[in-house]
A and B are shown apart, each in its own frame.
Chain A
Amino acid sequence: MKKIGLFIEFKDDEIKPANDGMVTMAQGDGHELFALVVNADAAACRERLSAYGVSAVVDITAGGGAWHPDGWADAVVQAMNACGIETLMGLTSPQGRDLLPRIAAVLDAPLVMDCVGVDLDRNVARTTQYSGKAMAEIQLTGRHHIYGIRAGAVSPAPRAAAAEVHAFSAVEPTASGIEVLSTRPGEAGTVDLAEADIIIAGGRGMKSGENFKLLQDCARAMGAAVGASRVAVDEGWVPYTFQVGQTGSKVNPKVYIACGISGSVQHFAGMKSSEMIIAVNKDPGAAIIGKCDYYIVGDLFEIIPEVTRALGAAG
């Protein structure tokens, strides 16, 4: 039996839907799945985790319940050691990017982030490199193996199990050198781009920040998150958190709708693994037209409001 630890992420006290795909990835004959839940309501998510094959939920209490990057990393390592877990998976989310490398550093263990596939029996990870231009198969050696999983890389598939909840209190770690002064919330109600099913993104063709309201309206009507090209960010039309691409978020939605975006290599580096790409561009010669699944040649200022209208009529 190989024990697989799964670091479960929460947002606003709710388990993130992206965990389901990650748990699915860990399923396998002879794998015993341990969900590691830090400072959250473990009992409340027991059923959901059971449905995807988790057989134990480790309810970890660390540092009096508050968020602390080193404290949490240390608590996860303690729980792994206590349960005899040597393989750990977590999401390559903003929290995962802060936590998984810390855990890898504490254990001095190999880590591959942003995996689109894992072979937990051979300790091999699949991930893209060079701005999404190459797919790498990476062998991890050593005693512990850690994987950051790309949200949405695998569709969730149920596998019934009956998880038991085990409480675990982490020992207060030695002083870490980090004091969390405060956490400033982001914009309320914004979906993290990396975990969105539908993204509608705007580029230079949007012409102003004001015009992004068109996309916001359309996004609301279809339950999408709004993204942007770097140009739109550099122009100050939208904050950096909207940026998709090489130096922005890497996203993996079911549908990516690019409006007034030309399709540069750097933009594609962040969204080329989308299941379906739809381009709205007035230039039939734009690079994105040759690299998408569907395109509409035309003025986005005419098309997007019509889409919002059509969604209203359809809904």
Chain B
Amino acid sequence: MKIYVCVKHVPDSAATITIRDGSRIEENITFLMNPYDEHAITEAAGLRSQLPDAEVVAVCVAGPAAENTLRSAMAMGADRSILVVADRQIDSMLTARALQAAIEADGTPHLILAGKESIDAEGMQTMFRLARYFGMPAATNAVKISLEADGAVVESEKEAGSRDILRLTLPCVIGAGRGLNTPRYPTLPDIIKARKREVKKIDLADLDVSSPGGKTEILSLAPVAENREPREIAGDAAAAARELVRILKEEAKVL
């Protein structure tokens, strides 16, 4: 039984972004595994122990440098990994096609996990598209997953902490939310073991995928200016509080 986990190689959220040619970021910064995908990998490693002969395979579509992210995924529990090497940034529609083609070429999924969104493009859609191309049901923002003989019961977190309790037939695609688990960060032996595991590389061009429905294309990318002029509200606690209330009322006009 195979559990595939889609992971994305994203810029460290703390990194300073420099924009090149007005349309993409300079890639000489630290890249890491997308934080939601850490929850997906951790969950897959936990579920593996409940399934006979289960194997966890991490899959990523990105440039060659993403091998690092796949090594992290293997150190966190994936048995092996697949890197679809793309020589350019591709959108969610094509990424989902590429993931599907790579998974299909590798084996028959019992379950596919992913993060509910990536923190760089924040598209929130790749897992749904992947599910559709496979004809599988999908659930997002999962905070609890229980595998049953013929399905998965997923608690999907919605507004203000409400939850949909869903039963999905297997195979299915589940997007991990932050409440799903606490990521299991690797120990040194895990990292060393992961170095010996396989990263199978496939060229995106060899998968021969296309996106007939259309695409999204970045026309321009510009830094967001931080142009606030901080002003102090002075005085003792009571005076400052009164001034704050005045600002809410007269300037922000929210009271």
Q: Which residues of A contact B (CB under 8 A)?
A: 11, 67, 69-70, 92-95, 97-98, 100-102, 104-114, 124, 127-145, 148, 176-187, 190-192, 197-198, 222-223, 239-241, 243, 246-248, 254-255, 265-266, 269, 272, 275-278, 289-299, 302-303, 306-307, 309-311, 314-315
C-alpha gap A129/B162 in the complex (Å): 27
Contacting pair A140 B214 (CB below 8 A): yes
Query: Taking A179-B166, A186-B162, A303-B240 as contacts, is the C-beta distance between A129 and B254 under 8 angstroms?
Result: no
| B232 at interface, CB cutoff 8 A | yes
Question: What secondary structure prevails in chain A residues at the interface with B?
Answer: mixed
Q: Give the chain A neighbours of B156 by CB distance below 8 A.
A: 98
Question: Which one of A67, A179, A269, A276 contacts B252 once the chains associate, using CB atoms below 8 Å?
Answer: A276
| B65 at interface, CB cutoff 8 A | no
Q: Give the chain B neighbours of A187 by CB distance below 8 A.
A: 160-161
Across chains A and B, the number of contacting residue pairs, with CB separation under 8 Å, is 276
Q: Give the chain A neighbours of B140 by CB distance below 8 A.
A: 97-98, 101
Q: Which 8 A-B pairs have the closest CB atoms?
A: A142-B214, A108-B213, A177-B137, A306-B241, A186-B161, A186-B162, A105-B132, A186-B160
Q: Give the chain B neighbours of A182 by CB distance below 8 A.
A: 164-165
Query: Taking A239-B161, A240-B178 as contacts, is the C-beta distance between A107 and B216 under 8 angstroms?
Result: no
| B52 at interface, CB cutoff 8 A | no
Q: Give the chain B neighbours of A98 by CB distance below 8 A.
A: 140-141, 156, 158
Q: Give the chain B neighbours of A138 by CB distance below 8 A.
A: 216-219
| B200 at interface, CB cutoff 8 A | no
Residue among B160, B229, B238 having the largest count of chain A Cβ atoms under 10 Å = B160
Contacting pair B240 A134 (CB below 8 A): no
Query: Taking A98-B156, A105-B125 as contacts, is the C-beta distance between A142 and B215 under 8 angstroms?
Result: yes
C-alpha gap A314/B249 in the complex (Å): 10
- Residues of B139-164 whose CB lies within 8 A of A: 139-141, 153, 155-164
Contacting pair A197 B237 (CB below 8 A): no
Query: Taking A102-B138, A110-B215, A295-B233 as contacts, is the C-beta distance between A184 and B228 under 8 angstroms?
Result: no
| B124 at interface, CB cutoff 8 A | yes
Minimal Cβ-Cβ distance residue in B for A191: B160
Contacting pair B13 A266 (CB below 8 A): yes
Contacting pair B120 A266 (CB below 8 A): no
| B28 at interface, CB cutoff 8 A | no
Q: Give the chain A neighbours of B25 by CB distance below 8 A.
A: 130, 134
Please encode chain B, from 219 to 237, with 1 for each CB lying within 8 Å of some chain A CB and 0 for all others.
1111110101111110001
C-alpha gap A151/B217 in the complex (Å): 23
Q: Which of B69-77, B80-88, B167-175 makes up part of the contact surface? A: B167-175
C-alpha gap A93/B157 in the complex (Å): 12
Minimal Cβ-Cβ distance residue in A for B121: A129
Contacting pair A134 B19 (CB below 8 A): yes
Contacting pair B165 A310 (CB below 8 A): no
Contacting pair B137 A110 (CB below 8 A): no
Contacting pair A183 B162 (CB below 8 A): yes
C-alpha gap A223/B19 in the complex (Å): 40
C-alpha gap A140/B213 in the complex (Å): 10
